[in-house]
Amino acid sequence: MICCVRPRHPLSGLAALACVAGVVAGAAAPASAATLTTDARCYAQGAPLQLTANGMAPRAPLTVSLDGQALRFRDGSTPRADEAGTHASSFSTPALAAGVNQLRHALAVDDGTTRARTRFTVTRPAGADFAPKHGDPRTLRVRFTLWGFALASGRNAQVWLHWLDASGRVRKNAPLGLTQGDCGQLTSTRRRVFPFDAEPGRWTLVLDTSRRYRVQSDGARAKIPVHVRSLSL
């Protein structure tokens, strides 16, 4: 992955995967207490991330790295700390590979003597799935996986599972578990995908943070369509 840093003066040249806009602001921290912060912990892929480093050597050239790989200005110039040892910049978070729903990244700023580090997570919009996907609906036990449930709110919460039949009628509501991490993820224990006798037809499993199913939800929500076929004897 190659990213680039964008200085505040006009640039020329080819576009890159991500660009960092170099600015300076804030007060310095002691060199022994270098810190690196981001404006959030969870980001959608491609969203802008604002970082601030304090406690760097005044006016020192800096290396800003993502997952151990240095980010670069598009024009080849080097980011620097200001006279107070502070550096602020931004870049677009990297895209997720196909099949990856979220990924945690390591971010660092180094002045050659002092290094400040932090982590952040990139996620897809709130979603859910379960595995295995096939089996006898009367006995099939699966693990539910959720991601992105804290992307909008920044908070983890209890997730509930609602079973809706083809007519939209709610057959059951049940707690699934508490989301965790920067972006609100959850992998459940194994449980029956249908804790009742499910009639053949199309079902919708709705996962959200409401104890009772509501047509409209203010928080994160994911839906899993399931088709139940008649069993051959």
- Check residue 33 and give its pLDDT: 84
Q: Which residue has the higher pLDDT, 13 or 129?
A: 129
* Token pair 């895209």 in the structure block, residue: 95
Q: Read off the tokens for 221.
A: 């929500």
CA nearest to 2, candidates 11, 219, 120, 15:
15
Range with lowest mean pLDDT among 5-9, 19-23, 68-72, 104-108 = 5-9
Mean pLDDT of 188-193: 97
pLDDT class of 75 with cuts at 50, 70, 90: confident
CA distance 233 to 222: 34
The answer to whether 174 and 230 have CB atoms below 8 angstroms apart is no
Mean pLDDT of 142-165: 97
The answer to whether 101 and 147 have CB atoms below 8 angstroms apart is yes
Residue 164 pLDDT > 80: yes
Checking DSSP bridges between strand 201-208 and strand 158-164, what pairing results, if any?
antiparallel
Average pLDDT of the chain is 87
pLDDT tens digit string along 199-213? 999 999 999 999 999
- Check residue 232 and give its pLDDT: 61
pLDDT tens digit string along 11-43? 233 233 344 444 434 444 444 589 999 999 999
Q: Which residue has the higher pLDDT, 233 or 5?
A: 233
Highest-pLDDT range among 27-31, 134-138, 162-166: 162-166
* Token pair 């083809």 in the structure block, residue: 166
Residue 85 pLDDT > 80: yes
Residue 181 pLDDT > 90: yes
Core vs surface per residue 147-164: b (16+ CB within 10 A) or e: bbbbbeeeebbebbbbbb
CA nearest to 109, candidates 58, 55, 59:
55
Mean pLDDT of 72-80: 81
